[in-house]
Amino acid sequence: MKRLVIGLGTGRCGTKTLAALLNMQAGAHVTHELFAHNLTWEIAAGFVLAMEREFRDNDFRLFGDVALNWLPYAMLFVNRELRPIVLQRDRAATVESLLRRAGDRDWWRRGVTEDADWFQAMPTYNNTMTKREAVERYYDEYYAECRELQDVFGDRLLWVRTEDLSSEQEQRRILAHVGYEPGEMRIDTGLNIRTKGEFKEVISG
C-alpha cells in the first residue's frame, strides 16, 4: 500500500535526519522542506493539492516531505493514508538552538527585524514580548496544536522524541508506522544530519 507522510517539528529537532531515514528506504521519495519558506503559515491549500497530486501520480511506495511549516496544513490532507510524524526535542534545548540559528533575524515578532523569507513561514507574535518569549510561545503552541492533531489522527500519527531518533528501536518504530516490514527496514543509528552553523553535517546512507 502506498503511504503519504509528512514530518512535523519546530525546527532544530531532527527534521533533516528524519527525512533522510525515510528517504533511504526502498521505494521511498521523502524530501526535506520541499517548498521551503514558500509554504507559508497562512494556509494556501494549493500546496496540499500539489502533494496529493504527486502522491497519486507517482509509483513511489512512500512519498512525502518533512518541514515545520506543514503544521497548519495537516488537517487539510484528504488522503486517509496520511501518516504524520511529530518530532519533539527538549524545550530548553530547542529554544536555545532556534535563537542561535536565527542570529540577528527575527522570524517570530511582527515589526522588529522581519526576515524576508522565513518570516512568512512562521507564526508571528506581538513585538511587546522579547524574542526569547516569542520562541518559547512558538514551541508551546506548536506542540499544543500537534496534540490536537493526535486527537484527530489517532494511531495514524506517530510522536517521536528527537533524543531517541538515532536508536534502532525508534527507527524501527518509525518505519513500521509508514508500512515497512522488519526484514526490509534500512536502519542507520549513525545517521545524524544537522544544518550548518551549529553542528557538523554528516551524510550517511
**In the prediction, which pLDDT does 1 show?**
84
Q: What pLDDT is attached to residue 79?
A: 73
Task: For the sheet with 62-66, list strands across it.
Answer: 28-32, 62-66, 3-8, 82-88, 158-161
Report how far residue 64's alpha carbon sits from residue 51's, in angstroms, rounded to the nearest whole number.
Answer: 8
Element (H, E) at 131: helix 131-153
Segment 109-120, tens digit of pLDDT? 988 876 668 999
Predicted pLDDT at 204: 26
How high is the mean pLDDT of the chain? 91
Indicate if the pLDDT at residue 166 is higher than 50: yes
Alpha-carbon distances of 122 from 5, 68, 107, 135, 136, rounded to whole Å: 21, 9, 6, 10, 13
Q: How confident is the model at residue 141 (pLDDT cuts 50, 70, 90)?
A: very high
* pTM for this entry: 0.92
Centroid of chain to Cα 125: 21
Q: Tell me if the domain spanning 3-97+142-184 has CATH number 1.10.4160.10.
A: no
